[in-house]
Chain A
Amino acid sequence: MVVFDKPHALTDVPMHYCPGCTHGIVHRLVAEVIDELGIEGKTIGVAPVGCSVMCYDYFNCDMIEAAHGRAPAVATGVKRAQPDSIVFTYQGDGDLASIGMAETVHSAARNENITIIFINNAIYGMTGGQMAPTSLPGQVTQTSPYGRDVNLCGYPVKVCEMLSQLDGPEYLERVAVNNVKNVKAAKKAIKKAFQNQVEGKGFSLVEVISSCPTNWGLTPKKALEWIDEKMIPYYPLGVYKDRTAKEENK
């Protein structure tokens, strides 16, 4: 009897992520959702630049590697050319909230019928731990060695809060993957974000508070605790926008 299996939507390619990195968890959640919705054959994923750049090797659906920050524009092109496809992007905080902010905001404003999985781990991982647009005030990184000084480099960007001010997007939720309860909630949100697209509801973004033990300088366990202690207080979990639910409650 099989009690635990790899989702079909994941390939057999070994992932390159560091020990304790939560990318693997989020990849698996996305793949489980693709399996459960039976959409792998018509799904096209768009990979970012950053630690998850090579996720094109890990998902079994067709994949496109985009330039840094441009995944929502690439996804827009794919979705407009093939409206029956299911199109998702998988992006980190530097990609989505810094260099690609314009593409993020405008795809949301247009209510593009795409799904965005946004990994917020408050750091640039691939380049070795520099300050991200989501790095916390006081957070020590390679490019904020004395801690992020908000007088010098401003405040972190709260993506869900900001996008929730737009009329465009359908669904915005922030989740975390640092314990079993949160992982289950994250799965539910990711599934909804894909289901929304299947139903033609529009732009759905799930921000996933994730850990980066390597660049945070913490053990994997401590990194998960740091999410509870530091990240979630600054980035509260929850639904920031759900147009359909709001309309149904009227």
Chain B
Amino acid sequence: MADKVLMKGNEAIAEAAIKAGCMHYFGYPITPQTEIAAYMAKRMPKIGGVFLQAESEIAAINMVYGVASTGHRVMTSSSSPGVSLKSEGLSYLAGADLPSLIVNVQRGGPGLGGIQPSQSDYYQATKGGGHGDFHMIVLAPASVQEMADLTVKGFELADKYRMTSMILADGTMGQMMEPVSLDYDIAPAPEKPWATTGTKMEREHNIVNSLFLSPEKLEQINFERFEKYKAIEENEAMYEEYMMEDAEICVCAFGIAARVAKNAINEARKQGIKVGLIRPITLWPFPSAPFKKAAAQVKEIISVELSMGQMIDDIKLASECKVPVTLCNRVGGMIPSPEQVLEAIVKANNGGAL
């Protein structure tokens, strides 16, 4: 087994990115993700990579767009208000079919909000994240190890499908320390014949572009992009099931909320309540299959979120509203306690009464 090191989640993302061959990082300071920039500032000059502190989140995402155009692996990271600023660039990256990795270590909102953990950018991440019809692959780590693993996976998926992967973490994931193994066998990045690397006078010029003034052409491009999305929905959905075999109640949570939920489920099991967890690891594509199965098996699904209830919509769609879906949440930087989740489980088990 590979040696493990104790790292903060944010640092694990940074080191995993370097391991994945990302030699270009552009960022702007914002709490609670600044450790990523600080780590890159230290490491990149030592390994011949590029760290550049941009003048804004907008400039950072456009520097990413520039590097992505040349076919190199590239990333930026930010937290909620900064990701809003990047949303213009996210739309252009999608429109030009460029691969990149974006990290959002979420904090409470809206507006300047707070600096404590949140999951309230779920809609923003999974329903587009900018103007126009598009998706990003959204990965939701629930441990420092997954912060690293999903960063590597994010780069691979971004290259495979020529699109943006987003790590949707939260302040807890970014700040907490856990042992992590960074021993990866990285496959070489695919050839990128479309990249603007200079023609060398050997080929026609490449154009990286998202402008198509002909509506027929733009419609066709959107259709083709959504064929790609369909393939991703069919092949790339990831999730974890925990004690779902005999479950009569299903808890659904991702990220830090899933960690809390597991504690509550363990406690409920001790009380003899048959409850399990579905933890989506990809938030887009949303893993529908386990919810279709759960809808025929459980009497209630509880969505545990650090938001006013955003993922709950996807759960209702995936379970086709066949069973009640209820919300157990805290917001504004607050995190549900295991007791709060346990209470929701007991209530569900008693058919709504405590």
Contact = CB atoms under 8 A, between A and B. Distances in A.
Same complex: yes
Nearest to A49: B211
B63 interface: yes
A17 B52 CA distance: 37
A103 B59 contact: yes
B92 interface: yes
Given A42-B198, A62-B197, A103-B59, A76 B66 contact: yes
A62 B196 contact: yes
A77 B211 contact: no
Contacts of A76: 52, 59, 63, 66
Nearest to A47: B209
B46 to A, nearest CB: 17
Contacts of A61: 198-199, 205
Contacts of B92: 66-67
Interface string B1-34: 0000000000000000000000010100000000
Interface in A60-77: 60-67, 70, 73-77
B281 interface: no
B209 A64 contact: yes
Contacts of B201: 40-41
B59 A65 contact: no
A103 B209 CA distance: 20
A181 B67 CA distance: 39
B202 interface: yes
Q: Which of under 10, 10 to 19, 20 to 34, or 35 or more describes the interface residues of B?
A: 35 or more
A41 B200 contact: yes
B74 interface: yes
Nearest to A57: B207
Interface string A193-229: 0000000000000000000000000000000000000
A190 to B, nearest CB: 20
A67 B89 contact: yes
Given A65-B208, A67-B88, A78 B199 contact: no
Interface stretch (A21-29, A79-87, A145-153, A167-175): A79-87
Given A64-B196, A80-B24, A59 B66 contact: no
Contacts of A46: 66
Interface string B200-218: 1110011111110000000
Given A81-B24, A81-B72, A63 B208 contact: yes
A59 B268 CA distance: 67
A103 B205 contact: no
Contacts of B209: 56, 63-65
B64 interface: yes
A57 B7 CA distance: 48
B58 A63 contact: no
Contacts of B52: 76, 80
Given A63-B205, A80-B50, A102-B59, A40 B66 contact: no
A53 interface: yes
Contact of B196 (A60, A78, A79): A78
Interface in A34-54: 40-44, 46, 53-54
B337 interface: no
Contacts of A85: 70, 197-198
B59 A81 contact: no
Contacts of B210: 65
A73 B54 CA distance: 9
Given A44-B196, A62-B196, A78-B196, A73 B58 contact: yes
B207 A73 contact: no
Contact of B65 (A56, A77, A105): A77
Interface in B33-82: 50, 52, 54-56, 58-60, 62-70, 72, 74
B199 A41 contact: yes
A106 interface: yes
B96 interface: yes
A114 to B, nearest CB: 10
Contacts of B54: 73, 106
B24 A77 contact: yes
B348 to A, nearest CB: 47
Interface string B80-120: 00000000110010001000000000000000000000000
A57 B204 CA distance: 11
Contacts of A59: 205
Nearest to B200: A41
A73 B52 CA distance: 11
Contacts of A102: 55-56, 58-59
Given A54-B211, A78-B69, A73 B63 contact: yes
Given A65-B209, A102-B59, A82 B65 contact: no
B55 A74 contact: no
Contact of A62 (B58, B66, B96, B207): B207
B89 A62 contact: no
19 contacts: A40-B201, A41-B200, A44-B69, A56-B209, A63-B206, A64-B69, A64-B196, A67-B65, A73-B60, A74-B62, A74-B65, A77-B24, A77-B74, A78-B67, A81-B24, A82-B70, A85-B198, A102-B56, A106-B54
8 smallest CB-CB distances across A and B, nearest first, come from A77-B66, A73-B62, A62-B196, A77-B63, A106-B55, A74-B66, A70-B62, A65-B209
